[in-house]
Amino acid sequence: MSPPTAPTRVALFWSGGKDSALALHRLSRRSDVDVVELVTMLEEDRAVSTVHEIPLDLLGVQARCLGLSLRTVQVGANLEGYADRMVDLAAQLSAAGVGAVAFGDLDRSGARGHRERAFAGGDVRVLEPLSGMGSRQAVEEFLSTGARAVVVAVDAAFLDQALLGRRLDRSFVDGLPPDTDPAGELGEYHSFVHDGPWFSQPVPFVLSPVREVVRTVGTTNGPQEFRTWLAAPERVPGRAGGACAVHR
């Protein structure tokens, strides 16, 4: 009898929000994979994540509370250099024995083909654990896990800044305008996950004052400008850096 095949070591792209958390949840229930680290994209020359603008030190707290290491990749403010960075990342991951990267994309985003092209030709394959899920199904499954998240960014063209800081729950989702994707898959809103069954303890945080952010992002339809209301999560002032050092 041949020995059992070892699970594929996986690096999960981590935004800090509900979709990547749901991807982690789904991957953790599989016996053929083992999530060994998180990967977060940082804005070049700034120690904050793209889109959500989560500070690096708070991302580190999230990772520790999840019991995982954190790898960062710097890209330009509008994702310039993304393709080259992914080639470099694939080589680094392969050398570390990681066989796959995973993303928290729903099919509606159309991101899967982009991800697969970015990692084509290397030894690291792409996993999309949310593939086949509809937006409402994804939100319902996330809520059913018992995770806790707050809304930290909204597209100014769709939603009001008063929604920032709201708990992401069924009441929030049911109250969205009819033309809004329930999961915010088209960028209508973004969230920050701070507690749940995967965390050893809740992540302490505060929200920064609300501000407007204007970005031009390259899309499949060419460059597009987005206006976002943002209340970025930040470390609690004066809080010691050892949060989640001891697991329950």
Extents of the domains making up the chain: 8-234
**Which segments in the chain show pLDDT lower than 70?**
1-4, 77-78, 217-222, 239-243, 245-248
Mean pLDDT of the chain: 90
Q: Can you give the pLDDT at residue 112?
A: 86
**Contact 146/196 with Cβ under 8 angstroms?**
yes
Residue with tokens 């059992």: 4
CA-closest candidate to residue 102, choices 39, 30, 150, 155:
39
- The rounded distance, in Å, linking the Cα atoms of 108 and 183 is 10
- The rounded distance, in Å, linking the Cα atoms of 168 and 143 is 8
> C-alpha distances in angstroms, 136 versus 3, 75, 181, 208?
41, 31, 8, 29
Strand positions, DSSP E, 29-93: 33-43, 69-75
Q: Can you give the pLDDT at residue 78?
A: 67
In CATH terms, 8-234 corresponds, of 3.30.2350.10, 3.20.20.70, 3.40.50.620, 3.40.50.300, to 3.40.50.620
pLDDT in tens, 84-105: 899 999 999 999 999 999 999 9
Q: Can you give the pLDDT at residue 217?
A: 67
Residue with tokens 């800090």: 16
